[in-house]
Chains A and B, each alone.
Chain A
Amino acid sequence: MGFLQFIWDGIWAVLSLGNFALIKILLIANIILITVSYLVYFERKISAWTQNRIGPNRVGWRGALQPFADVFKLLLKEDIVPEKANKPLHTLAPFIALFVAFSTYAVLPIGPAIQIGEETVNLVVADINMGILYVLALTSIGVYAITFAGYSSGSKYSLLGGIRSSAQMISYEVSMGFSIAGVVMMAESLSPIKIVESQSGLLWNALIQPIGFITFVVAAFAETNRLPFDLPEAEPELVGGFHTEYSSMKFAGFFLAEYANMIIASAMIITLYLGGWQIPYIETLNLGTTVTTILQISAFMVKMGALLFFFIWVRWSIPRFRYDQLMSLGWKVMFPLSLLNVVYVAVIIMLFNV
C-alpha cells in the first residue's frame, strides 16, 4: 500500500501543479475540439433550416456522425503544397492559427471557484491579472496566421485575402480595444474573474453600456472573419481567400481555428458583457453551494450556446459587406462609437460613483 500511496502522491502533486492546470488544459482542449466539430454540424443544420433544406442526414442518426466523417475525409486527403509556395511559412501558418485558438481560452473562466478537498480551484486554466490584455495580444498574433498563409501560398487570391484580413483585423482591433476599455473602467481590473464578479445582479455591462456591447460584438464578428465580415475568404471574389492553396489537415487547421475563435469570441462577450457564469439574484434562493455552482456553470453553457447560435444565425441572414463599406464602418462608425462609449462610461462612473 505504501508504494501505491507514494505513486498516487506523485501523480497528485503533478496534477495539482498550478491549481490543477494540467487537468484543466486537457479538459478545455477536448471540450473545444468536440464543440468545434459539432458546431460545424449545427452550422450546417441551421443553415439548412434557414434555407428550407434538410442538411446532413446520412451519417448516423440525422447526420449526427457527420463531423467524424468530415474529419476522416480531410485526414485522408493528399497534402498539396504549391510549387511557388514559401514552404516553411506555408506549413507554419495553420499551426499559428491553432496555437492562438487553443491558448486564448486559458484565461476565460467558465464558473465560480470550487472547493476540491482543501484546495480552492478556479474554473479557469490561468488566473492572470492581465487576462483581457492576454486575449487581445493573442488575437493580434492570430492575424499572422492569415497574413503568412496569404503571403506564402504564392497565389494572388491568397495574397489578396491576406492583405484584406490584416487590414480588417487591425482596423477592428482598435474599436474592440476601446470597447473593452469601458468594461475595464467599470471593473477596475483586467482580470476576467474580477470583471465577471463586478457584474453581479443585473449590473451586466450589456445593459449598462449598450453602445460598447454593440461595438464589441461587431468587432468580434470582424475579428473572427465571420459573415458579414468574411472578406478574407470571400468565395465569389477570391476563391477561398487566404486558404485557397491549402488542403488536407492544414486546411482543417484553419477550419478548426475559425470555429474555435467563434467559441472564444462568445466566451469573451459573455465574460465582458453578459455577466459571465452569473445568474442574477441566484443567491437569494439559498440553493446551497453545489447546486448554485452547477446552475452557474450551466448558465454559462446556455449563454454560450445562445451566442453561438447568434453567430450562425447572422451568417445566414446578412449579406457580405463591400470592402470600402467594411472599412468606413470600422473607422467612421464603430471607432467613434467606441470612443463615445469610453466617455459615457467615465461620466456614469463619476455620477454614480460605482
Chain B
Amino acid sequence: MNIYDIIFYLFAIVTLVSAAFVVSTKNIVHAAFFLIFTFFGVAGLYILLGADFIGVVQILVYVGGILILLLFGVMLTNKITNVEIRSGTTQIVPALIGVGLFAGILVLTMVSTEWKSAPGEIPFTTAYSLGKVLLTDFVLIFELLGILLLIALIGAASIARREKE
C-alpha cells in the first residue's frame, strides 16, 4: 500500500460517508451541506487520477454553481412560506429490493470483469490536450453542446416566464 492508495481510500471514504449522510439526513439543507463533501471527494479522486482540469471544474460547477442554486431554491421556499421542507423515508422495502438488485448486478460485474490497466504517464496538465481534442476531433459535439445549452437556457426562461393575466 503506497501513499497513492492511502489517498485514494481517504477520498473514497469521504465520498461514500458523506453520500450516506446526504441520503439519510432529513434536513434538506444538511443534505446539501454533506453533498459538498461528496463533490469534494469526487474532485479529489479526479485529481488523483491526473485529471486536474476536470477535478477543479467539478468543484467550480457542482459545488459553486449547482449546489448553491439548490440551497437558493430551498431558502426561497423553506421557512419563508412556513413550510418546512423535509425529505421523508417511504417505500423502504421496494427501494431496498431495487437498489439491492442493481447493486448486486454491479458488484457481480465488478468481480467478474477482468480490469485493464493501461501503462502511461500522468500528463503535466490536461487542459492543453483537452482543449485541443475538443476543438479538433470533437468539434461537432462541442458546437452541438453550445446549442444544447442555449436551448436549456431558452427552456428555463420559458418555464420561468409569467403569463399575462
Does A touch B (CB under 8 Å) in the complex? yes
Q: Which residues of A are interface residues toward B (Cβ below 8 A)? A: 86, 89, 128-130, 133-134, 136-137, 139-141, 143-144, 147-148, 150-151, 159, 162-163, 166-167, 170, 173, 190
Q: Which residues of B are interface residues toward A (Cβ below 8 A)? A: 29-30, 33, 36, 52-53, 56-57, 59-60, 63-65, 68-69, 71-72, 75-76, 79-80, 124-125, 127
Asked if B75 and A137 make an inter-chain contact with CB atoms under 8 angstroms apart, the answer reads no
Q: Report the minimal beta-carbon distance from B60 to chain A, rounded to whole angstroms.
A: 5
Which residues of the other chain, A, contact B57 by a CB distance below 8 angstroms? 133
A159-B75 contact given A130-B52, A130-B127, A170-B68, CB 8 Å threshold: yes
A to B contact number (C-beta, < 8 Å): 70
A144-B75 contact given A89-B29, A133-B60, CB 8 Å threshold: no
Asked if A140 and B63 make an inter-chain contact with CB atoms under 8 angstroms apart, the answer reads yes
Q: Which of B33, B56, B79, B80 contacts A133 (CB 8 A)?
A: B56
Q: Which residue of A lies closest to B124 (CB)?
A: A129
Asked if B79 and A159 make an inter-chain contact with CB atoms under 8 angstroms apart, the answer reads yes
Instruction: Pick the most buried of B30, B64, B127: most chain A CB atoms within 10 A of its CB.
Output: B64
Q: How far is the CA of A144 from the CA of B36 in the complex (A)?
A: 10
A141-B59, A151-B75, A190-B127 given; name 8 further pairs at CB < 8 Å. Answer: A89-B33, A129-B125, A130-B53, A133-B53, A140-B63, A147-B72, A148-B33, A159-B75
A-B contact pairs, 15 of them (CB 8 A): A89-B33, A130-B125, A137-B59, A137-B63, A140-B64, A140-B65, A140-B68, A144-B36, A147-B75, A159-B80, A163-B76, A166-B68, A166-B72, A167-B72, A173-B64
Q: Report the minimal beta-carbon distance from B102 to chain A, rounded to whole angstroms.
A: 32
Asked if A170 and B60 make an inter-chain contact with CB atoms under 8 angstroms apart, the answer reads no
Which residues of the other chain, B, contact A163 by a CB distance below 8 angstroms? 72, 75-76
Q: Report the minimal beta-carbon distance from B45 to chain A, rounded to whole angstroms.
A: 16
Asked if B56 and A143 make an inter-chain contact with CB atoms under 8 angstroms apart, the answer reads no
Which residues of the other chain, A, contact B79 by a CB distance below 8 angstroms? 159
Which residues of the other chain, A, contact B52 by a CB distance below 8 angstroms? 128-130
A141-B64 contact given A147-B71, A147-B75, CB 8 Å threshold: yes
Which residues of the other chain, A, contact B65 by a CB distance below 8 angstroms? 140, 170
Q: Which residue of A lies closest to B67 (CB)?
A: A144
Q: Report the minimal beta-carbon distance from A335 to chain B, rounded to whole angstroms.
A: 12
Q: How far is the CA of A173 from the CA of B76 in the complex (A)?
A: 21
Q: How far is the CA of A148 from the CA of B32 in the complex (A)?
A: 11
Asked if A141 and B75 make an inter-chain contact with CB atoms under 8 angstroms apart, the answer reads no
Q: How far is the CA of A86 from the CA of B75 in the complex (A)?
A: 14
Q: Which residue of A lies closest to B60 (CB)?
A: A137
Q: Which residue of B lies closest to A154 (CB)?
A: B79
Q: Report the minimal beta-carbon distance from B132 to chain A, rounded to whole angstroms.
A: 12
Q: Which residue of B lies closest to A147 (CB)?
A: B71
Q: How far is the CA of A133 from the CA of B80 in the complex (A)?
A: 35
Asked if A140 and B72 make an inter-chain contact with CB atoms under 8 angstroms apart, the answer reads no
Q: Report the minimal beta-carbon distance from B148 to chain A, rounded to whole angstroms.
A: 18
Q: How far is the CA of A163 from the CA of B79 in the complex (A)?
A: 13
Q: How far is the CA of A10 from the CA of B48 in the complex (A)?
A: 28
Which residues of the other chain, A, contact B127 by a CB distance below 8 angstroms? 129-130, 190
Q: How far is the CA of A134 from the CA of B48 in the complex (A)?
A: 16
Q: Report the minimal beta-carbon distance from A316 to chain B, rounded to whole angstroms.
A: 31
Which residues of the other chain, A, contact B63 by a CB distance below 8 angstroms? 137, 140-141
Asked if A143 and B29 make an inter-chain contact with CB atoms under 8 angstroms apart, the answer reads no
Which residues of the other chain, B, contact A140 by a CB distance below 8 angstroms? 59-60, 63-65, 68
Q: How far is the CA of A140 from the CA of B56 in the complex (A)?
A: 11
Q: How far is the CA of A210 from the CA of B38 in the complex (A)?
A: 40
Q: Which 4 A-B pairs have the closest CB atoms?
A: A140-B64, A129-B125, A137-B59, A133-B56
Q: How far is the CA of A100 from the CA of B9 in the complex (A)?
A: 25
Q: How far is the CA of A159 from the CA of B82 in the complex (A)?
A: 13
Q: How far is the CA of A173 from the CA of B64 in the complex (A)?
A: 10
Which residues of the other chain, B, contact A137 by a CB distance below 8 angstroms? 56, 59-60, 63-64
